[in-house]
Amino acid sequence: MIIPVILSGGSGTRLWPLSRKLHPKQLLDFMGDGSLLQTTVRRGCSLAESGAPIVVCNECYRFMVAEQLRQIDVSPDAILLEPEGRNSAPAIAVAAFRVQEKNPDGLMLVMPSDHIFQNSEAFYEAVQRGVESANKGDFVLFGIVPTSPETGYGYIRHGDYFPGQGVCPVNEFVEKPDFKTAQSYLDSGEYFWNGGVFLFKASVYLNTLKELEPAIYDACRDSVEKAQSDLDFIRLHEESFLSCPSKSVDYAVMEQVENRVVVPLDSGWSDIGSWDSLMRELPDDANGNVIIGDVLDEGVTNSFMHSSGRVIGVVGVDNMVVVETKDAVLVADRSCTQDVKILVERLSKAGRDEASVHRQVFRPWGSYELVDSSARFQVKRIIVKPGGILSLQMHHHRAEHWVVVSGTASVLIGGEEVLLREDQSTYIPIGVKHRLTNPGKIDLELIEVQTGSYLGEDDISRFEDAYGRSGDSQKS
């Protein structure tokens, strides 16, 4: 059996302002057929003899990951929650302990959650070619057949094919080259891009890790043994996991072992690492433009234009990227899109929310969206899913006024419970415990007006919560 292991911990800062720290690129739908996470999970589950997937993600993404799996009717074997990212070697290790617990000889197909494979059949065929080697105890890598001299990828130098096996020995791993070197790699035909997709036995990985990186092995073992179930999640033991060294699987294992082979993979792969790389994956018009959303263009060529809501007018430019969201606009030359991460770093250092969250913030019960704000008031649009229930909470510095726009709201204020319908409203004073529930079968939509001396999201004390969250709303 092949167990898909999905690594979903990246932040995708080069795709800002759509991708943000608390809503990263793997949770976004760029191609119109589901988020990158959803397409990765579907790809893994479509393999012959595949088992239920394991997803490893940061704990702050847990409800969004669970909801996206529910939307595609996938019940995972586990969603393992990292308290903080420690790179790919530990992430794979905790999944390997989970696989070994249930099936010591199980094969793990490790996949990043933010890659695209245009030709799924070619992917499935490549995986099947690697099964025999993986069952023998080899580490199987999937080398992406290069199509251009890319300087942003690592490379794998391969040897001649083993007779009748469809796999090659791995001769060398090469770091990201300069352009001239990358062109020589392409011309030689001896190199693949390293796409970060692997197939191997869980037991082989753990035994190798124990020998080569015992500190990683011990920390991950302890974090799994001391893990706690939390609703639909497995929360890794925080202290144990944070003691783990941060190291990629390439450095920790793949570059040090001899029992490694590579399967060539030519399936229209992209890691969607920048706006320019995303543009190359989408259909363009007669002027070489990719246009998404409400865009008016005149005399524009070879450009990417994306509107999330407002109309964008673009005139007389070439080779540009223009991306609009409700709270930020990016304008960049296509040749400089790798440098978008520098802007995000500056926003983060300045403590700006735009680096981390969108105006619409998702919660396990639904979402809220900032509409307007000033020094002493804030207006939000709140949507609560059917059956959704906010925590029993209280605020020290703000009062709240709720107006139901559609649906039905059950509101607990102090010790009194009231039922509100469309066009009805209520008021929650400062310091009063309250809870909001949607008892209906359609979404509850309401407008919330907050007033007070402090309106930060951390002004919340939770007393009960159906989703196991603590008082820190920003992380929940």
In the chain, domain spans: 2-270, 275-341, 360-475
Q: What architecture is the 2-270 domain classified under in CATH?
A: Alpha-Beta Complex (3.90)
Q: What architecture is the 360-475 domain classified under in CATH?
A: Sandwich (2.60)
Could you list the pLDDT tens digit for every one of the 476 residues in the chain? 899 999 998 777 899 999 999 899 999 998 888 999 999 999 999 997 889 999 999 988 999 999 999 999 999 999 999 999 999 999 999 999 999 988 878 899 999 999 999 899 999 999 999 999 999 999 999 999 999 998 888 999 999 888 767 899 999 999 899 999 999 999 999 999 999 999 999 999 999 999 999 999 999 999 999 999 988 899 999 999 999 999 999 999 999 999 999 999 998 898 888 999 999 999 999 999 999 999 999 999 999 999 999 999 999 999 999 999 999 999 999 999 989 999 999 999 999 999 999 988 888 899 999 999 999 999 999 999 999 999 999 999 999 999 999 999 999 999 899 999 999 999 999 999 999 999 999 999 999 999 999 998 889 999 998 887 765 444 33
pTM of the model: 0.88
3-class state of residue 244 by DSSP: coil
Q: From the CB of residue 87, how many other CB atoms can be counted at a distance below 10 Å?
A: 19
**Residue 72 tokens, joined:** 């595609």
Angle of helix 88-102 relative to helix 214-225, nearest 10 degrees, comes to 50
Q: What is the 3-state secondary structure (H, E, C) of 128-144?
A: HHHHHHHHCCCEEEEEE
